[in-house]
Amino acid sequence: PGHGWDYQSLGNIIKAAGTGAADTEAGMARMIIQGFLDQAKLYRTKGITLSLVNLETWGAAYAAVSGAATQLKGQMDPSTTAGAALVVSALQRRASAMSVIIDQTTNVDLGS
């Protein structure tokens, strides 16, 4: 995160877990997320994101998107005419979008 992790909060969470205050994985996760949100509020950080994923459900999620991903990969294969056209089209759109901001000073690292 832009404001950094609150390591004191993380340390307190670890101590709480040792005392049984966070007796489940979900409880521990809630404490970590709340610490992250509290730190962001303290530093007035806007637009924060943090995700929690239950990896026990990963197999079902993978199965749900695997077929669609395989189909999409086939459509984007540059060795086929349709796939090559899709890749070229995407590159042209990206070049066009980048041309709008090419002269912006915000895209220059003055420190290098």
Average pLDDT, the chain: 79
Q: Is the pTM value of this prediction over 0.85?
A: no
Residue 104: the pLDDT is 57
Q: pLDDT tens, 3-51?
A: 677 888 888 888 887 787 777 888 888 888 888 888 888 888 888 888 8
Q: How far is the first Cα of the chain from the last one, in angstroms, to the nearest whole number?
A: 23
Q: Of 7 and 87, which is predicted with more confidence?
A: 7
d(CA 44, CA 25): 28
> For residue 101, is pLDDT > 80?
no
DSSP 8-state assignment for residue 105: G
